């Protein structure tokens, strides 16, 4: 049995791979050059929304939570409240608004529980909580 006969008639796979790697390398260079020359933004005409004039009634009521999980109003950190003390004050301020919204600003080191208690109180009273954080 002659096993070498199929080798003489078949193509050798080692010869064709060098040209394939050259082609892949040239395509890679082409795409790198073309990607640097391409524009990075598409000209898209986006719709604009109507901005309603904000009145004093529509201003958000702000509540902050500091790192010690204490509550304060409108960036005035001199007067500190507990959750039970701040809820009636918030209710009176939010009652003046046309859209009941509450901006909650939490310190990065504030406890999750204190912020969650404020969010859950806002949801129970049908206030819209808006969350931000302070650095």
Question: Is 46 within a domain?
Answer: no
Q: How many residues belong to the chain?
A: 135
Check if the beta carbon of residue 108 is closer than 8 Å to that of residue 133: yes
Supply 60's token pair.
Answer: 């958000």
Check if the beta carbon of residue 127 is closer than 8 Å to that of residue 118: no
Whole-model pTM over 0.85: no
Domain that holds residue 100: 61-134
What's the CATH code of the domain at 79? 3.30.420
Say what the alpha-carbon torsion angle 60, 66, 69, 73 is, to the nearest 10 degrees.
-30
Instruction: Report how many domains make up the chain.
Output: 1
Q: Which pLDDT value is given to residue 120?
A: 92
Q: Which pLDDT value is given to residue 57?
A: 47
Question: Is 66 within a domain?
Answer: yes
Across 10-14, average pLDDT? 58
Question: Is 90 within a domain?
Answer: yes
Whole-number Å distance between alpha carbons of 92 and 20: 75
Q: Which pLDDT value is given to residue 24?
A: 92
pLDDT (tens digit, 9 = 90+) per residue, 57-101?
Answer: 456 788 888 888 888 887 666 788 888 888 998 888 888 888 888
pLDDT (tens digit, 9 = 90+) per residue, 15-34?
Answer: 667 788 889 999 999 999 88
């Amino acid at each position: 049995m002659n096993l070498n006969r199929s080798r003489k008639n078949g193509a050798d796979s080692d010869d064709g791979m060098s040209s394939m790697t050259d082609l892949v390398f040239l395509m890679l260079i082409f795409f790198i050059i073309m990607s640097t020359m391409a524009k990075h933004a598409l000209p898209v005409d986006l719709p604009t929304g109507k901005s309603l004039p904000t009145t004093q009634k529509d201003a958000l009521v702000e509540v902050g939570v500091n790192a010690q999980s204490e509550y304060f109003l409108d960036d005035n950190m001199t007067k500190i409240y507990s959750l039970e003390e701040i809820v009636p004050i918030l209710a009176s301020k939010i009652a003046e608004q046309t859209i009941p919204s509450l901006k909650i600003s939490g310190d990065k080191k504030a406890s999750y529980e204190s912020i969650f208690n404020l969010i859950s109180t806002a949801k129970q009273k049908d206030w819209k909580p808006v969350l931000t954080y302070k650095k």
